[in-house]
Amino acid sequence: MDIKTICIHGSDWKDPTGYISVPVFQSATFGHPELGQSTGYDYARVQNPTRECTEKVVARLEHGCDCTSYSSGMAVISMVMELFKPGDTILSTDDLYGGSIRLFRFINEKNGLHFRFVDTSDISKAEAALDDTVKAIYIETPTNPMMQVTDISAMADLAHSRGALLIADNTFMSPYFCNPIDFGADIVLHSGTKYLAGHNDTLTGFVVCKDKEIAEKIRFLYKTVGGCLAPWDSWLVTRGIKTLALRMEAAQKNAQTLAEWLAGHPKITQVLYPGLPVFKNKEIHDRQSRGSGAMLSFYTDSHETALRVLKSVRLIRFAESLESLGGVESLITYPATQTHADLTEEERESRGITACLLRLSVGIEDVNDLIADLSQALGE
């Protein structure tokens, strides 16, 4: 079945009443016919029919054997870390969503896990950082916000050569453009708040597993930790996914046009977008993805220009606490004081998260309106 069809029919929802849209089963618990018998639904922390439909679509979109859904992307990452025990080391991409770094450093390390942050876009650096304490390699590709690309197959081989897992946060690409499991990833994570839900109206997260053994461990954590997605939010995400293909194509088209326009602008010194020929590791990205996505980062010629853009955009939304991406609305963020505020200034500078860096999540508005907005914000 084509991915566009899976987006619409992937939950296999059918019932005798003829409902086209899966109903919101707003029930915390389910009655039993008699002692020792169950309808298959007992308690909503473990099973809920609305949520199951969402999970089924995402498992199919990501080519996994099972999917579980949670109340946010961070709830997902926190729970996946429960697979490991004190003393285990996770080798992680060094350029990462700031919230993930905060979780690793301030929560997981306190509980005995060790994190080794390396530039996984350079395989030799990842190889050099590997030893027998490493139980997983954790990657984002492209990364948030520096758009660094990691070779998923090479990382999977590296992880598996030491008996470790490869965990990939596929939020930026969405399953529409990339399926890390096809390249050897064992676990794929999503902040479904972003492209999967797609409308900036709900928080959600997903874990998709390649094989049954890990899926069983995750199912145990799912029912034990209890961060599962509520029925109404499940319904919103299922509805969002129905237009995933259309939204991703439209947003990508806009992003390509904007990246080219920005690259030719005198006040922009560099644009980081996989659709540009000069993009670092483009060949690797193109090999493992079906598109360039709709996230891009760019450097302005000065700190003042960056501030001016943030202050002056009208259509493209900016707000001090607004950190999201992947919805129909275009959003701009300033990683240095928003998503990556928890890093030291030295760490930010060494990763390229400077006072001139802006990150743009391109939406599906008319591209000429977006160009006009950025053009006036840049002072033309």
d(CA 189, CA 169) in angstroms, rounded, equals 5
Of 97, 176, 299, 334, catalytic = 97
Q: Which segment (68-76, 208-216, 276-284, 285-293) binds ligand PLP by CB under 6 A? A: 68-76
Write out the binding residues for ligand PLP, residues 304-333 only, by CB under 6 A: 323
Q: Which segment (69-77, 111-119, 260-268, 355-363) binds ligand PLP by CB under 6 A? A: 69-77
* Beta pairing, strands 165-169 & 134-140: parallel
* Residue 95 near ligand PLP by CB under 6 A: no
Q: Using the minimum distance from each CB to ligand PLP, give the nearer residue, 140 or 151.
A: 140
Out of 25, 97, 138, 279, the only residue in the binding site for ligand PLP (CB under 6 A) is: 97
Task: Give catalytic status of residue 70 as yes or no.
Answer: no
Of 45, 239, 253, 308, catalytic = 45
3-state secondary structure of 333: strand
Task: Give catalytic status of residue 194 as yes or no.
Answer: yes
For 281-301, give one letter per residue: b (16+ CB within 10 A) or e: bbebbeebbebbbbbbbbbbe
3-state secondary structure of 240: helix
| Total site size for ligand PLP, rule CB under 6 A | 15
Min. distance of Cβ 205 from ligand PLP in angstroms?
A: 5
Task: Give catalytic status of residue 105 as yes or no.
Answer: no
Min. distance of Cβ 196 from ligand PLP in angstroms?
A: 10
The percent of the chain in helix, strand and coil, each rounded to the nearest 5, is: 40, 15, 45
* Residue 203 near ligand PLP by CB under 6 A: yes
Out of 119, 169, 186, 373, the only residue in the binding site for ligand PLP (CB under 6 A) is: 169
- DSSP labels, 31-67: --SSTT---S--BTTT--HHHHHHHHHHHHHTT-SEE
* Residue 140 near ligand PLP by CB under 6 A: yes
Stretch 141-160: interaction string toward ligand PLP, x if CB under 6 A:
---x----------------
User: What secondary structure letter does DSSP report for 316?
Assistant: S
d(CA 173, CA 142) in angstroms, rounded, equals 8
Residues 6+ apart with CB under 8 A from 238: 11, 22, 50, 53, 54, 57
Task: Give catalytic status of residue 45 as yes or no.
Answer: yes
Which residues form the catalytic set?
45, 97, 169, 194
- Which chain residues interact with ligand PLP by CB under 6 A? 72-74, 97, 99-100, 140, 144, 169, 171, 191, 193, 203, 205, 323
